[in-house]
A and B are shown apart, each in its own frame.
Chain A
Amino acid sequence: AQSVAQPEDQVNVAEGNPLTVKCTYSVSGNPYLFWYVQYPNRGLQFLLKYITGDNLVKGSYGFEAEFNKSQTSFHLKKPSALVSDSALYFCAVTPSTGFQKLVFGTGTRLLVSP
């Protein structure tokens, strides 16, 4: 069975500093990996995905993520955090075969202070 772990409930970072939100996964075969962001009382917004190819994936709003197969990780990063990045971030995985069933982590709350 596939699973996602987001080990940090909350990440605090000062505006302008780099941020990292951690994600590790478990799936049979090759994974498709996604990051979504959720603002209060809103649905999830797609940020980026890893399908194949380059291990560094660039997405929306200056976010990027690094796929590491040996460590089964897909950490979300941004070089310079903004206060407006404060939100709930979810990592999700689906196997590359079969129908798409996204399995989400429990989420990490990012708090960017001015």
Chain B
Amino acid sequence: DAGVTQSPTHLIKTRGQHVTLRCSPISGHKSVSWYQQVLGQGPQFIFQYYEKEERGRGNFPDRFSARQFPNYSSELNVNALLLGDSALYLCASSFLSGRGYNEQFFGPGTRLTVL
């Protein structure tokens, strides 16, 4: 079975630019979450979407936005990139939202470098 897929694998942008990261969840999973993992740290929660609606948001500025599509895939958008946005962006899917006991399955991540 295919796991969570993310694209692109790597991305290099310059400050001020905009970026879109994409995620396809495991088939049958309706919830997608996004995390930012800065080098040397644990992942930080950005968003959770379920059935195309935002269910939760972490402590990230409004430059970060996301959406979920009818096929449950998701996009993470970041505007006005800063050097500090350089990180591994992880997407995770789970079967249900709001059910904390469901483990999340993570994709391989998108490595974003901002120059």
Which residues of A does B touch, CB under 8 Å?
Answer: 4, 32, 34, 36, 41-46, 49, 51, 90, 92, 94-107
Contact partner, A98, options B42, B98, B103, B108, Cβ 8 Å: B98
Contact partner, B45, options A90, A96, A103, A105, Cβ 8 Å: A103
Interface residues of B in 79-101 (CB under 8 A from A): 90, 92, 94, 97-101
Question: B102 in the interface, Cβ–Cβ < 8 Å?
Answer: yes
Would you call B106 and A49 a contact (CB within 8 A)?
no
Contact partner, A100, options B44, B48, B90, Cβ 8 Å: B48
Number of A-B contacts (CB under 8 A): 73
Question: B56 in the interface, Cβ–Cβ < 8 Å?
Answer: yes
State A4–B109 Cα separation when bound (angstroms).
22
Closest to A48 in B: B103
State A76–B56 Cα separation when bound (angstroms).
28
Q: B-side binding surface: helix, strand, loop or mixed?
A: loop
Specify which chain A residues have a CB less than 8 angstroms from the CB of B103 in the assembled complex: 34, 46, 49
Would you call A100 and B99 a contact (CB within 8 A)?
yes
Closest to A90 in B: B42
**With contacts A100-B48, A101-B45 known, is A43 near B109, CB below 8 A?**
yes
Would you call A43 and B4 a contact (CB within 8 A)?
yes
Q: How large is the interface on B (under 10, 10 to 19, 20 to 34, 35 or more residues)?
A: 20 to 34
Closest to B102 in A: A100
Would you call A49 and B48 a contact (CB within 8 A)?
no
Contact partner, B43, options A42, A46, A95, A104, Cβ 8 Å: A104
Would you call B98 and A99 a contact (CB within 8 A)?
yes
Would you call A42 and B108 a contact (CB within 8 A)?
yes
Contact partner, A102, options B41, B45, B98, Cβ 8 Å: B45
Specify which chain A residues have a CB less than 8 angstroms from the CB of B4 in the assembled complex: 43
Specify which chain A residues have a CB less than 8 angstroms from the CB of B97 in the assembled complex: 99-100
- Shortest C-beta distance, A85 to chain B (Å), equals 19
Which of B31, B101, B107, B108 has the largest count of A CB atoms less than 10 A from its CB? Answer: B101
State A34–B55 Cα separation when bound (angstroms).
21
Contact partner, B106, options A45, A94, A107, Cβ 8 Å: A45
State A107–B97 Cα separation when bound (angstroms).
25
Specify which chain B residues have a CB less than 8 angstroms from the CB of A105 in the assembled complex: 42
